[in-house]
Structure 1
Amino acid sequence: MNESIHNVDTGRLIVQGADRPGIVASVSGVLTRYGANIVSLDQSSSDPSGGRFFQRTVFHLPGLAARLPALQDALEVELGEELGLDFRLVEASRHKRAALFVSKMDHCLLDLLWRQRRGELPMTVRMVVSNHPELAGEVRQFGIPFFHVPVEKGNKAAAEKEQLNLVKGNVDLVVLARYMQILSGDFLDEVGVPVINIHHSFLPAFMGAGPYQRAKERGVKLVGATAHYVTEELDEGPIIEQDVIRVSHGESVRELQRKGADVERLVLSRAVAWHCEDRVIRDGNTTVVF
């Protein structure tokens, strides 16, 4: 679908809740009454009898910005009060504001910055935050503020307090672009926005230090990556996107790392793009991606 993110009169309506007859008709009815033209509509139900319903609608409505409050109120009555549904109404032209967290590995960070500069990602990177100073020069070439917040052993709380002072209220999304620190539950509770992480995925999986070396020693045939929302349970959050690439016995550990970095870049950029386009609906510990 060719969806223009620059059209100031394009809106997105995201709906979820208990499935029941009449939801699609109610959504279409409200939009029609306000003169909106539906550009695309995707929907899914986990079970037609007593399941969960999910819908993403893209529409065009002249003068959307001025008419948004009245449309919001009408949807609140018909979808919220009468049907008991949750919904989000957004302007497509309002890009998500993001903070990118990184440590020393630059492949995911630079890929996101490059894609944003080319207009491939509907987001505005407000800042890069790192626990190491090495990438400051490369980041500033993109005209993005770089903040070095060291994490001292035994005093992570102080670093997270400084990070929260930087991002809280200033961003709509935090992306961990190979940030090699575990965020505390307190940070996740306070930041108030979704956090997306990327990590390698081996089949079988190898956690901890030296995963590529151990993968090589076991003769793995697939190297992959997983992008997911961050929860307090390490790497257990709802999955947004995954992909794999084949490898062979003849490839060195360095070649496995290069291929792993390639797939990490692709998976993270897709996940971030889909989130910023409001294509991802979280439902408990799973996701629906349109």
Structure 2
Amino acid sequence: MDLENQNFILQVIILIIQFFIVLIPFLGSKALYDRRKRPLNRFSFRGYMLLILGILLIICTCLQIKITNKISFQNEVQLNKKLERRDSINQRENKKNDIATKEALAKYNLEIQDSLNNAQIRIRKIIKDSAKINVMNGDDPDFGICDIKKIKDTLSSKSVEIKICSNDAASEKITFAIDVIVEVSPGKYQYIGKNVLSNKNIFVGKNKSMSPEILIPNKITNQLILFHMVGEYTKFGTKKKFNLDRLYCFNQYAPTKPYGYLFPDKEEQVREFIKTSHNRR
């Protein structure tokens, strides 16, 4: 029998014991305890029943605490394994993105070279047939979250997919993190944690996207989850750099359109909370 079923059975037994502990004093008219009698005979039959039930209640409660701790430990181990698998998947995805990036850049006579001296990736432009490619002109990229959706639930966590787009132009040298915040009550917020999802080697093409996943513990049952995206990115092929500091909201119980933006007054509240939280850390 697994721990979950054992815990459920113990809960049922504890409820039954508590029921009889409350009921027994009302059954019969004889006193539960009589000081006038000899020590071993002072308890009536109902008195001994209450004493035995009290001991059983203590034992069952201790067993339930022990089983609950085991369940929490198992859930933590499972969550750590999922995080390790996610990191492994992200590494494989990054390798695939590198290959796709090379193929995409080749169409524009560009190639990625690995520098053996400083282990950094640099982009080199190749001139063919005296034709030069000018990437300075054109629109600036609008890089940020463009959709949020819950993928699946497990016993210990929920998996949320964060779709991040680079609209109007390609972005490179991307580095960002996402803070997870929940609204515990109107105007009150709680900081859950930080997810660092990329490094400066990431490239996202024009009107393309990347979709990392964030695991959120199932104990977070609040309706409104906030994602604070901070970092920086560069327009592809230029030195034009942009800062990221954006807030997004996700209603995990909304049947449709759970993703969106905050109203200005609420965003001001959240930013004040973020500022205060960062000052404390």
**Does TM-score exceed 0.5, indicating one fold?**
no
TM-score (norm 2): 0.23
* Larger helix share, 1 or 2: 2
Q: Which has the larger radius of gyration?
A: 2
TM-score (norm 1): 0.23
